Each structure stands twice: as structure tokens, then as C-alpha cells.
Chain A
Amino acid sequence: MSSTFAGVYKALSGIQTSQLQLQVTGQNMTNVSTNGYTRQRADVYSVGSSGNNMRYASTTAAVGAGVMATGVSQLRDPYLDIRFRSENAKVGDTTTQLSAMSDIENVLDEVKTDGLEAQMKALVSQLQNLCEDAGNGVSESTVKTSASILVNMFNNYSEQLSSIRNQQKGYLKDNAVNKVNQLIGNISHLSEEIRMSEISGSSALELEDQRNSMLDELSQYVNIEIQKNSVDIGSGRTVDELSVYLVGASGTKHTLINNEEYAKFGFGMGTSATTGKECVNVTLTDLSGSTKTINSELSTGVFHGYLKILNENGEYDAGFAVIDPVSYNPTGETSSASGHGIGYYQLSLDTLAQKLAAVMNAANSTNTENKPLFASSVAGEQITASNIALSSQWENSTGAYITTTKQPSGVEDNSKATDNILAMIKEFSTDIDFQTENGVSLFTGTFQEFVTNLSNTLGLEQGNISSQNNTYSTTLATIDKQRLSVSSVDINEEGINLIMYNQAMTAACRFMTTLDESLDNVISKMGIVGR
């Protein structure tokens, strides 16, 4: 037999629960356009009748005791989150590479603007013109001017590529590494707050949404894995603790965040132990305080994109004896070619400048006289694209300097013969084998074909990375759509819920008034006989 006022409590529970549900619906509706918001639901259970009496069975019918809301929860699919984050890393990686490549393309592309290859064509044209008037210092001055423009162009290209490299370094250091450290710090603090709040009973759903957004952003930079451990805090309640790991290429997990403790990324410059070339290092200071370089562990994400652009020199990395970066001992293997970063294009231009200078200088020098056409503007340094210049002998010569002929002649003056000029012109259509310093073959073709080959290699790679980027972006968008399908707010649904909860509230209130009337009958109208 239930108590007199038991029904009132039932009605009260109904009203309170409906109110809560309306509040939750309101919360959903006001956040319909908030990015990253997950729709919430009140967890509502019907309450059963009170438990068994140990001593004797009850003969009356048992009725439930109303409705109870145990809490508010989010509707989210964590598996979709995992898939989203792993795809996001790939998108970050390809987007970073594309943006750097598009900068390089602006320097190397000659489809619409005249660049290095066009200037080489101009030099050949001037040499053709010189055949008409060989041996004349005045006619030669047009060739000198053309050559001067050519070396300036080499210097220019080299400078622009250097500045792109510095820019990318800056982005990595200031934008990527700092941003990631910021994110890691924030996620860690948020996790702490969420944990505290869960311990004290409220579920901090909005903070969880914030943390999820930050984790999404972090996943763009590095390849992360998230683990939630349930920790028992007594009286049968558990709280989730969040750990974030960096999954390395070898499969090793490096802890990035463990509750309120977190690791820090760093940036450093160094040289590769194997190739001796300049390289950029991303370091990780882990929870115990020790710092180490983790370049090889970053296999995807924005960091990997920057590392590839800055550290990989293509065929120029091949042919070295591999040296273990930790123990500094040779491993006995020979390095192979890596991807084509900025270094590949810079070093290719250097190789071209050296080869061009060597061939032209040899063509102009006789067996008695060394008459170089090109030289390094920095004494003692090998010729590179940044220091190639006209030789001081050519610059300062007032008369004819170009050797027009190498035929012996009985007469004093045979400078109008053009065989050497034609030989020089022929050099521009002769196939040359371009190699790296280790003898790794780069390309076989003429000087001009080498230049266009650089531009084409870049174009092909860009096309490749661009289509990868498109694929990953499309997949990312699909996964995001599925995520939204599960967790975003549908106005129509909330509208229907409004009506439903309103009705429920009205019903509960009506029940209350009904009870009030019936009790009124019992209290006020029963037992008034004989008054």
C-alpha cells in the first residue's frame, strides 16, 4: 500500500524531469550553429517500486515511483573521431607540402614568364649573332650582357629559394611548434578541469567539446592516439583520465599528455650525420625531462610535411655511408634518394651552374691560355648558383675576349673564323650527364632540358601531392559528415522534442491537479457525516 502523498512526489518528479529535459532541449537549440558542439540528452529512467521487504511478502500491487534524471550526456561516436584524426594528419601533411611547392613553383615556372631557360636561349642567339662579326669587341659586348643577365638570374633564383627555405623554417618554428605546444598545454589543463568537475559530480560536457576541438586541431600536426582510462575514485564511481600519445613510425608510443603532465616540442638546427647537409630537427622533451630528436618518428601530419620540405634533398642524399645518429657509428648501409624538398632544387641549380661554367670555360680556354668566362664571385669557393658571376678577366676586358677559333693559322690574324663559337653553340645542344657529388645520376640532357626538367619534376610531384590532398580532404569531409550526422543538432528534432516535453510537463501538472482534487475529496469531503 503506497503512502497518501506518494503520488504527489511522482507528479513532482515528472514535472522536474520535464523541466530538465526542456532545459537540455533549449541548450541544444541555442547551440545549433556552434562548431564542435555535441547534442546532449538528459538520461531519464523510470523509478521502480522500493525494494523487497526482507521479512514478509507484500500482497498489494506495486507501482513505480515516477521518473528520475540521472544526468545529462553527449551523443558522440568515438570511433569516428579516431578515423577523423588519422585522416586529418594526412590532410595536414599534404597541404603543407603543397603550399611550399607552390612557392617553389613561382620561382621555377616558365610557362608564362621568362626565366633561366629563356635566358639561355637568348645567350645562344647572341652567340649565333656573333658568328657574323667574330672577333669584334663591340659585337661581343652583346654576348657579355646576355651572359651577365644569365648569371644574375642564377643568383636571383638561388636567393629566392633560400628565402623560401627560411620562410618554411619560420613557419615550422613559430607557427607549428609553438601552436602545438600551446594546444598540448591547453588540452592538459582542460583535462584536469574536466576530471575535477566529474569528481564533484557534474559532467562538464561543454569542456569536453572544447577539448575535442583542440584534439582535432592537434591531430593535424602529429599522428596522435588517445586513450581514456577509467579510474576508480571510491564509492563505486569512476572518472575518465585522458592520455595522448604520439605514435611513431616504428610503432613506439611517446607520451604527450598524461592528465596534468605534458611534453613539449622544440625546434633546432643541425647537420645530418649521414649526408653532412644542414637539417632541421624537431625535438620532444618528454615527461621525465629528457630531450631527444624525433624526426624519424614523425611519419605524417604538418610536422612531417615541413620536415620533408626542409630536410629531404632527393638524389643528393643518396650514396653516403649511413651513420647512426645516436651512436655515430657507420651501419654499413648506403643511403638512398629521398623525397624532393627545397634542397633538391637548390642543389640542382648549383650543379647546373658548376657544369655550365666548367663547359664554357673549357671551350673558351686555349691550350696556352686559361680564359675563363664564368667564376665564383667569392674567391676560393666552388661555383654555386648564388655566387656564379662573369670572370674578372671577362669583366675587365676591353677588346675581344671570346676565343673565336682554335684553328692554327700561318697569318697573324684569323679571329673571324667561327669554329670555336660554333663549338660553344653546339655545347648547348649536346647531352650532358648531370650527376651529384657522389656520382648519382640526376639527368642526361642539354642545359636547357635540365632546367625544364626541374620545373617538370616539380609539376609532376605537385600534381601527385595535390591529388592525394584531394582524396584525403574528400575522405575527411565524408567522415566529418558522418560525425555531424551522429552528434549535431537537428532543429526539426529539437522542435518536436519541445512539443513532446511540453506535453509531458502539462500531463504531469494535470496529474498533480488530479491528485490534488482526489486528496481534497479524501481530506475535505470524507467523514463529514453528522456535522
Chain B
Amino acid sequence: MRVTMPMISKQYSKNLNSNLSSLNEAGNKTTNFRKFNKASEDPFSAAKAYQLRREYQQNQDYQSNLSLAQSMLETAESSVTTINNIAQEVNSTDILKAITSTMASNDKKIVSTKLRATQEAIVSTMNTQLGSNYLFGGSGAASAPFTLDANGNLLYRGVNVNTGENSAGATSDVNGTKICFGVANTDLFNGYTITIEQGLNLGRGIESINVSGGNIAITLNAEGSNNGELQTALQNQLDNAFTAAGIGTAGMDFSKITVSGNASATVKTSEFVSGNMVKSTISNIVDLDALANEKIYVDLGLGLNVNNNNVQAQSAFNISMPGIAYLGYGTNADGTPKNIYSLLGKIADQLESGGFSMDNVKPYLNAFDDSQQQLLTKITDIGARTDTLEYTQKRLENMEDSLLAKIDKVEYENPVDAIMDYKMQQYTYTAALQIGTNILQPTFLDFMK
């Protein structure tokens, strides 16, 4: 093949440029030791890298959730242990064990005063806050969970811990719409059912309210209604509806009826189950079991599984500690309350009353022993949860290490390799430059005479 100067110079320049580009790339790698700077340089490694980074971020999220859960459990444990110590002290020979049928009235006074003071201590400890959260408030956010009503009964989030009566009065949940009928009206409404259905009148709003057969039937206009309209209608029309049904409404304050939530939220009609419209009960009794078993879940990477808004119990960590689960709730078979505060109150009442007898006090003392045992069980439960957290923490930390190692392997170059490569490219480039001058310069013309 015929070879000419322009050919050689073009080829040389192209090769030199390609050497320079390799040198540049190698140089880039020594500045940040990354294997690739763009996904297009290595798409498969980039895909892996993205995935690993996601897992790493999730791991960090879990660890942060875990450290919060740990601090909550720590604080809770110390509070509950305090309660337990108080209970033990109360159950000692000084106080409860000192109650005999032959106690002097002064001694009775001393004991009952101590009991009242203990009650106060218990309430304030159970209202502990961590930051702005009430530790023992369960899912309730706004205010301190334990309060007292006008009669000195202990309320947990407005619910009497012994009877389950809601201090807000009778309420009903109709397919998502919550109606509260007011404390004053409890006697009237308790036991009724309520249904909401769609009527045929055009337009928006409430068509009619009828009371019959123990059921309040609300009919909406064809285009439906919202919470605000329903509230107004109930406040204004319910009185007449009851009167029309021949039921007395003396002493009822219908203006206290409220529909909770956003005033513009739509009112849903009652659901149908097996072809029958579901009648929602109006009741002022709240399920204390449900309150005591409320869960607040956080994701710790245990395989979160949520079905229809129900979080599967094993797939997340519960950080909820409803106060009544520790203090006890409800009543025993013999009518004695299970709640420690209430029991102390009852015992103090007995001591302060005129007709004191050991037979009356004994059931309460026995109940107190039982409730204290339950409290100990609950403390162990906190301990078990703390252990689970520790184990999970170790696991998460190990995963973090292994993820970091994997990320390093996928994305980063060994610094030694990168620098060696750069040196090689430098050498190649310099060699090419030197040879170039030898090829391009001499021609026949230099030797012509």
C-alpha cells in the first residue's frame, strides 16, 4: 500500500488523541477513585449501586427509629419501676399491711392520707412526657392521658377506667362519620341505633330525621351532605323527631350534639352487610380492652406488611404503652376495680368512713395484690421488648457494615490500582510523543542536493 505523509500525520494525531483521552480518564479516576462517574459508563454497576444506596438509606431509617424506641422504652421502664416501687411500699407493713380490724382512728387517718398522696404520685408519674409526647397515652396525642373527673374517678383519655364510660357522652361511628351526642344527653341516647341513608329529594342536605323502634333514621338528599350540615340538622331537628315519636326530651341539650372532623367532609351512608343495612349503636361505653391494646408501630426492617390498614403484628415494632395496661382497668368478678389508683381510693374511702370493717376492706386488699402482680408482669414485658431491640440493633449494625462494604466494592476503585493505571497511561503518552517527532520530520527533500 502506498504510504504518504498526510496519512501518517493523520493517523498519528488520531492515536495521540486517543492516548490523551485515556490519560484524562485515568487522571479523573485518581481524583475521586470512583469506578464510574455516570451511569452510561457502566450501566450494570450503576443499577447495583442505586439498589445498594436505597438499602443503606432504609437501614439508616430503621436505626434512627430503633434509637427512638430504645429511649422511649428506657424512660417508660424507669417510670413503671417507680410505680412498682410505690406499690410495693404501699403494700408493705407500714401501710396496707398495717390495716387491721383493731386499728385506732388516728392510724386510719394516717394511712388514708398516705394512700391519697400515693394516688397523686401515681397519676403524675403516669403522665410522664418524653419530649412533647405522653409516654403512656397510647394513640392519644393532645393532652395528659390520666385525669380525674368531678367525682374523683380516674379517667384515661376521658374514659372511666373502671366502667369504660366515655366522659364525652354517647357517641356513634356511622361508617366513618363520628357523632357525639353530649354528656348531658347520655341517658336519652344510650342504647339507640342510628342509620344514614340516601333519599330521593334533589339537591344537597338532610331530607328528614325520623325516630322509631329504637332507631334514629337520617335520610340525606340525593346529592349527599357534609359534616357541618349534618351537625346543624341534628341540633335543630332531632328534638322534633323525638317529640313526634312520643318520647320525652326534657332536660336534653341538643345544642351539644357534634359531628367530629372537618365540616366539609362527606357523610357516608350506612353500610350493607348481607343485604341488611348496618345499624350503628350509640353508646357511651368504650371498649377498654381495645384501648389497652392499642398499637403504635414503627418500621425496624422486620418485613413491614400492611393489609387493609392493618399492620401485621410481627412485621413492625410496637412502641405504644397505654397507661391502663399497667395500672389495670375494669372490674373483678366480685365488683372490685382492678385499677391500682381506684383500689387505693376505695381503701382510703373505707378507712375514712364511719362503718369500717375488715370484711369490707379485705376484697380490696386482695385485688390490690393481684393488680400488683400484673404490674410486675408488665415490667418484664418491657424488659423483653428492650432485649428484642438490642438484638435488632446488632443485626442492623451488621447489615450496615456489610452494605457499606458492598457499596465500596461496586462503586470505588482500589486507590493503588487507580494510581498505577494513571502512571502507565502517562508513560504511554510520553513515549508516543517522543516517537512522533522521529516519524514526522525527515523527508527526501532534506537529503536532496
Please determine whether B309 and A423 come into contact, CB atoms closer than 8 angstroms.
yes
Interchain nearest-CB distance for B115 vs A (Å): 29
Q: Which residues of B contact A370 (CB under 8 A)?
A: 266
Interchain nearest-CB distance for A54 vs B (Å): 47
Please determine whether A411 and B157 come into contact, CB atoms closer than 8 angstroms.
yes
Return the chain B residue nearest A499 by Cβ: B448
Number of interface residues, chain B, beta carbon within 8 A:
83
> For window 469-509 of chain A, which residues contact chain B by CB distance below 8 Å?
477, 480-482, 484-486, 488-493, 495-496, 498-499
CB-CB under 8 A for A460 and B43, given A485-B2, A490-B4: yes
Most chain B CB within a 10 A radius of its CB, from A136, A452, A480: A452
The one of A368, A459, A485, A499 that contacts B7, using a Cβ cutoff of 8 Å: A485
Q: Does B133 sit within 8 A of A, measured CB to CB? A: yes
CB 8 Å contact bits of A134-154 with B (1 = contact, 0 = none):
111000000000000000000
CB-CB under 8 A for A131 and B299, given A369-B265, A409-B139, A414-B140: yes
Return the chain B residue nearest A430 by Cβ: B306
> For window 270-304 of chain B, which residues contact chain A by CB distance below 8 Å?
286-287, 290-291, 294-299, 304
CB-CB under 8 A for A458 and B39, given A111-B46, A419-B309: yes
Q: Which residues of B contact A495 (CB under 8 A)?
A: 443-445, 448
CB-CB under 8 A for A129 and B311, given A121-B57, A136-B132: no
> For window 127-182 of chain B, which residues contact chain A by CB distance below 8 Å?
131-133, 137-142, 157-159, 166, 168, 171, 173, 175-178, 180
Q: Does A128 sit within 8 A of B, measured CB to CB? A: yes
Question: When chains A and B are docked, how far (Å) is the Cα of A134 from the Cα of B157?
Answer: 17
Question: When chains A and B are docked, how far (Å) is the Cα of A414 from the Cα of B140?
Answer: 5
Question: When chains A and B are docked, how far (Å) is the Cα of A463 from the Cα of B44?
Answer: 11
Please determine whether B262 and A369 come into contact, CB atoms closer than 8 angstroms.
yes
> For window 24-76 of chain B, which residues contact chain A by CB distance below 8 Å?
34, 36-43, 46-47, 49-51, 53-54, 57-58, 60-61, 64-65, 68
Return the chain B residue nearest A409 by Cβ: B139
Please determine whether B141 and A128 come into contact, CB atoms closer than 8 angstroms.
no
Main secondary structure of the interface of A (DSSP, over half): helix
Please determine whether B43 and A463 come into contact, CB atoms closer than 8 angstroms.
yes
Please determine whether B142 and A413 come into contact, CB atoms closer than 8 angstroms.
yes
Q: Does B268 sit within 8 A of A, measured CB to CB? A: yes
CB-CB under 8 A for A412 and B40, given A407-B309, A486-B2: no
> For window 391-448 of chain A, which residues contact chain B by CB distance below 8 Å?
405-420, 422-423, 425-426, 429, 448
CB-CB under 8 A for A110 and B4, given A135-B141, A412-B168, A495-B443: no
The one of B41, B65, B159 that contacts A132, using a Cβ cutoff of 8 Å: B65
CB-CB under 8 A for A496 and B6, given A128-B298, A133-B132: no
Q: A136-B132, A492-B444 are in contact. List 17 more A-B contacts (CB 8 A).
A: A33-B6, A109-B40, A124-B57, A128-B65, A131-B296, A132-B298, A136-B141, A368-B265, A368-B267, A411-B140, A417-B295, A418-B297, A418-B298, A419-B311, A425-B304, A426-B306, A498-B448
- 5 A-B contact pairs sorted by A residue (CB < 8 Å): A105-B38, A128-B299, A370-B266, A412-B168, A456-B46
On A, residues with C-beta under 8 Å from B are 32-33, 101-102, 105, 109-112, 117, 121, 124-125, 128-129, 131-136, 366-370, 405-420, 422-423, 425-426, 429, 448, 452, 455-456, 458-460, 462-463, 466, 477, 480-482, 484-486, 488-493, 495-496, 498-499
On B, residues with C-beta under 8 Å from A are 1-7, 10-11, 14, 34, 36-43, 46-47, 49-51, 53-54, 57-58, 60-61, 64-65, 68, 131-133, 137-142, 157-159, 166, 168, 171, 173, 175-178, 180, 260-262, 265-268, 286-287, 290-291, 294-299, 304-306, 309-311, 316, 320, 443-445, 448
